[in-house]
């Protein structure tokens, strides 16, 4: 076990980086870009030991707990387990690539980098917080930089998209806040202690009559963030109008906060409600899978196509969670990581072509594989990854999810498997129209292939596609004990958590 407070370090590095960027002369944009990139790279390097020092058999690790607001029972309590480990690593990895991909940003570069670095702190905070008040603080704070990234640096309808994103998320957050306050006071009423600590809340019994209300208060908040059908309508607007790096972070990290919320809070807190309403969420997941894929199939805007594909892919993740088998939950968690990599790569590629042509309409392209062969190669690998080609990361996650679901809900698994067919249809049909045939638009003859910076970005993000696709064992081994604990806690209506070898058996 590492002795220094690595979690706190990960929270502080980008925050202090943002403060230092604020002190740099705004006219020195080159220095700002390089400093922000250096901070994000240091953050990623610092996060790597989490993987090597993490023992999957010890539960929550790297735990830090210090008094925060003692009179309220709020603590600075952070740590990670096999569920949050790779989400933290994915956050530091994609943030570095996103800042490198933001080299073409010319508007208010200083403010942009401040917002991005602050956003990184809040995202990591969501995944490591083990205190409800601390979690909610990070959950709400991340709305500010994301709102600014969409509203200031987005497309023509950026203000509309930013406000819609903010209102949807805030609506869900209000419901969750009400549920957290109830859990807080219920714990105080039963024990006499004020505590926001999630382990204290987990082991506190609840009146059966309020469980469905509390469950749906959390579930709606997290479903909006996923986003599950029918709470998905904010997503296409936010994706289309956000700058490229904003779309990468939105798809790669922010959507996973919804699925993470179900795994960390909603399902373990209310296992009785999970059993009662599982068919509802399985049905909504399948509708989202099919709906997102069919709507993606008819899109003429490449970025909107990728946005709707997220609705379909995250539906698969939710299907695996509520199937509650070791294979389906492991596949779901792995698919969260896979989606962040593959869809993040797709948004990066769409941004690269948009910087050259300033259009995302499929009809404006055709035959560009002839003038941009390197770009076409990376796009093909990423598209195959997204549609689940064996040998690439998308296949492993989808296969495990559907396999585990089939064991208990064969009909839902069969319906969910249609996503594989549909994703191949909309991605490959789009690829054919954009990259093949003759070049009919003379503007496409002037296109330049990827430069060194862009090739470096794509090599970095394509590497884990092959790694996970060919050898997923290092990922699954780290996840397995936490996944089994999660399933047991939900199925047995008990919560059993381990913090540095200390076992907590938390009965409902």
pLDDT of residue 504: 42
Q: For residues 85 and 478, is the Cβ–Cβ distance under 8 A?
A: yes
* DSSP secondary structure of 153-190: HS-TTHHHHHHHHHHHHHHHHHHHHHHHHHHHHHHHHH
Tell me how far apart the alpha carbons of residues 63 and 65 are, in angstroms, rounded to a whole number.
7
Q: 326-344: string of b/e by CB count within 10 Å (b at 16+)?
A: ebbbbbbbbbbbbbbbbbb
pLDDT tens-digit map of 209-258: 898 999 999 999 999 988 888 888 888 888 888 898 999 998 889 989 99
Phi and psi at 62, nearest 5°, equal: 55, 35
Tell me how far apart the alpha carbons of residues 128 and 47 are, in angstroms, rounded to a whole number.
13
Structure tokens at 65: 């707990």
Q: 171-195: string of b/e by CB count within 10 Å (b at 16+)?
A: ebbebbbebbeebbebbeeeeeebb
pTM of this structure: 0.90
Strands 74-80 and 502-507: unpaired
- Spatial neighbors of 498 by CB under 8 A, at least 6 apart, are 58, 59, 60, 485, 504
pLDDT of residue 48: 95
Ranges of the chain with pLDDT below 50: 494-508
pLDDT of residue 106: 85
64: nearest Cα among 131, 119, 141, 14: 131
pLDDT of residue 192: 84
Tell me how far apart the alpha carbons of residues 97 and 94 are, in angstroms, rounded to a whole number.
5
pLDDT of residue 3: 64
Domain coordinates in residue numbering, the chain: 6-507
**Residue recorded with tokens 């009785």:** 272
- Spatial neighbors of 243 by CB under 8 A, at least 6 apart, are 102, 105, 149, 150, 153, 154, 351
Tell me how far apart the alpha carbons of residues 88 and 144 are, in angstroms, rounded to a whole number.
20
pLDDT of residue 156: 84
């Amino acid at each position: 076990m590492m002795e220094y407070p690595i979690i706190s370090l990960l929270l502080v590095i980008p925050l202090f980086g943002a403060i230092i960027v604020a002190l740099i002369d705004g006219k020195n944009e080159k220095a700002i870009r390089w400093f922000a990139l250096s901070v994000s790279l240091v953050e990623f390097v610092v996060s790597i030991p989490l993987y090597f020092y993490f023992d999957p058999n010890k539960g929550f690790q790297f735990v830090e707990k210090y008094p925060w607001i003692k009179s309220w029972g709020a603590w600075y309590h952070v740590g990670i387990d096999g569920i949050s480990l790779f989400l933290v690593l994915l956050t530091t990895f994609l943030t570095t690539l996103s800042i490198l991909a933001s080299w073409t940003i010319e508007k208010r570069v200083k403010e942009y980098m401040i917002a991005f670095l602050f956003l990184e702190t809040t995202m990591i905070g969501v995944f490591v917080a083990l205190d409800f008040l601390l979690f909610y603080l990070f959950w709400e704070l991340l709305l500010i930089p994301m709102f600014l990234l969409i509203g200031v640096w987005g497309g023509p309808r950026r203000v509309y998209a930013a406000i819609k994103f903010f209102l949807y998320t805030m609506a869900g957050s209000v419901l969750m806040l009400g549920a957290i306050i109830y859990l807080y006071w219920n714990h105080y009423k039963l024990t006499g202690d004020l505590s926001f600590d999630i382990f204290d809340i987990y082991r506190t019994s609840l009146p059966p009559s309020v469980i469905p209300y509390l469950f749906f208060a959390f579930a709606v908040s997290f479903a909006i963030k996923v986003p599950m059908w029918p709470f998905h309508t904010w997503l296409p607007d936010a994706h289309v109008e956000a700058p490229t790096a904003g779309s990468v972070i939105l798809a790669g990290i922010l959507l996973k906060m919804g699925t993470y919320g179900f795994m960390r809070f909603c399902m373990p807190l209310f296992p009785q409600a999970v059993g009662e309403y599982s068919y509802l969420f399985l049905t909504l997941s399948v509708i989202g899978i099919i709906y997102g894929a069919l709507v993606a199939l008819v899109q003429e805007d490449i970025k909107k196509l990728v946005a709707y594909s997220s609705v379909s892919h995250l539906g698969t993740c939710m299907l695996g969670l509520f199937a509650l088998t070791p294979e389906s939950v492991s596949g779901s968690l792995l698919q969260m990581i896979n989606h962040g990599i593959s869809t993040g790569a797709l948004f990066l590629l769409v941004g690269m072509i948009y910087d050259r042509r300033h259009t995302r309409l499929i009809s404006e392209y055709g035959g560009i594989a002839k003038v941009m062969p390197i770009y076409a190669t990376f796009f093909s690998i990423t598209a195959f990854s997204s549609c689940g080609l064996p040998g690439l990361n998308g296949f492993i996650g989808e296969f495990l999810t559907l396999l585990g679901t089939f064991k208990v809900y064969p009909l839902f698994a069969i319906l969910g498997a249609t996503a594989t067919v549909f994703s191949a249809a909309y991605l490959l049909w789009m690829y054919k129209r954009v990259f093949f045939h003759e070049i009919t638009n003379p503007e496409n003859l002037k296109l330049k292939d990827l430069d060194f910076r862009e090739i470096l970005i794509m090599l970095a993000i394509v590497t884990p596609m092959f790694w996970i696709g060919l050898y997923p064992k290092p990922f699954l081994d780290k996840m397995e004990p936490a996944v089994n604990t999660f399933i047991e806690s939900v199925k047995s209506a008990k919560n059993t958590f381990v913090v540095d070898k200390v076992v907590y058996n938390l009965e409902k």
